[in-house]
Amino acid sequence: MIQLSTPRARERGFSLLEVLVAFAILAISLGVLMQIFTQASRATLISSQYSRAASLVESKLNAVGDEIPLEEGVVTGDPEGGIHWEIVIQSVELDELFGSEAAPITPFRVTATALWQDGAQVRRVTLSTLRLGAPF
């Protein structure tokens, strides 16, 4: 008796081509996922650095008038956690409002800047506010 081969007899496993295509799809998918993970980690690190710098300049702005005298000039200090900081205090003229009369107050523009090195790039955060001081 002659036995004919059936279609099921030939379908025992995957062909080499199917396995190679599956591995290629897997490799591309893993590469894309690793790239997304790397970018997300980098964005998280940069966000953390900006948060630290913003907290530092905010605390330096709050120190103006207490620890840092409210007078025109530039104040810098030692870097804190690798973040350099600078405060610039400038008086603001009120002549347009009060004319030749002496102004009852002296407003100062206080600008605090934090700088840090991130690889080859220098990043910065700048906050500015007005503080009222005694007349000259």
Q: Burial of 57 by CB count in 10 Å (0-12 exposed, 13-18 middle, 19+ buried)?
A: buried
pTM for the complete prediction?
0.70
1 membership: H or E segment, kind and range: none
Give 72-90 pLDDT, tens digit per residue. 999 998 898 889 999 999 9
Residue 110's alpha-carbon distances to 18, 64, 132, in angstroms, are 67, 8, 10
Tell me, rounded to whole angstroms, the distance of Cα 12 from its chain centroid. 56
Tens digit of each residue's pLDDT (9 = 90 or more) over 27-75:
999 999 999 999 999 999 999 999 999 999 999 999 998 899 988 999 9
